[in-house]
Amino acid sequence: MPTDDDLQPLRERTIAAALARAPGDGLHATALPWLRLIRASAPAHPVPAVYEPGLVLVLQGRKRAQLGERVVHYDAMQCLVVPMTMLPRGQVIEASPSRPYVCMRLSCETQALTELLLEDDAPPGDGDASLHVAPVTAPLLDAALRLLQLLDSPQDLKTLAPLVQREILYRVLTGPLGPRLRSLAQGDGVARRLNRVIEQLTRRFAEPLSIDELAELAHMSPSTLHLRFKQLTALSPLQFQKNLRLQQARRLMLGDGLDAASAAHRVGYESPSQFSREYRRLFGAPPREDISLLRNTAG
């Protein structure tokens, strides 16, 4: 088992493996649906983002995420835990062509954690479900490297990748970030109840949902839900749903080539003009201009 003394050579090998599988800037899918790689060769402006439940292992560079007044920096060789879907403004703040920002993003559903926790005797978490970071240890980095190497062995991937994924979750659960994950998968605390609301909003973002319906799901009064939800996410539940709609519309226009009116209708907007106003408020430009800029940047 590698020790912290082995961290530097291990880090260099892991960075090389990640960059080889992410040859250009942007988000890179892999043969594993729950593993993606992100690379950036220059600092960027803050942009609205969707952080899905899971882990981010930063191998090189530096990034920041802002949720309301709370700002979290995650640097090279740090692990960021995203315990539930969050909508921060993300920004790469340290990257260059010779030393690009590169990270591994591993999505993780609550069910996967629950299964692992059945074998864990540790007490439930403390209920703090915000964004938190901790240093990457040598055993965690070693597992991450082996996961990247498995991408070159399709015959082994189906059998071995879930085992390495489980090891990575285990390393995080048994480290300083473990309580953040346990609070969501165990018991019925506030964080777990708020996560149920977020999961509902994420699944049904295009549908009209009332605050009373969401409050009943969380076993809270509407006023308590509004307060607790905003403390956690910096948004009200309905603002959170609106931002999810706009993020999905942006994906549809950029990835599927839909026009603004079609994308707006697909995500639940009845008024194209309202969609355009709210889109501009979130992304800083009207839909057509924003998508054109994104395509030109990518090209």
Q: How confident is the model over 24-34, as pLDDT tens digits?
A: 999 999 999 99
Model pTM score = 0.86
In order of start, what are the domains of the chain with their CATH numbers? 4-185 (2.60.120), 188-299 (1.10.10.60)
Rounded CA separation 87/66 (Å) = 9
- Per the prediction, the chain carries an average pLDDT of 89
- Residue 238 in tokens: 């309905």
Q: What are the angstrom distances between the C-alpha of 40 and each of 93, 137, 173, 188?
A: 10, 24, 29, 39
Confidence (pLDDT) at 92: 96
Angle at 100 between CA 294 and CA 288, to 5 degrees: 5
pLDDT tier for residue 266 given thresholds of 50, 70 and 90: very high
pLDDT tier for residue 86 given thresholds of 50, 70 and 90: very high
Q: Helix 7-21 and helix 138-150: axis angle, to 10°?
A: 30
> Residue 1, exposed/middle/buried by CB under 10 A (0-12, 13-18, 19+)?
exposed
> Residue 228, exposed/middle/buried by CB under 10 A (0-12, 13-18, 19+)?
middle
DSSP 237-284: HHHHHHHHHHHHHHHHHHHH---HHHHHHHTT-S-HHHHHHHHHHHHS
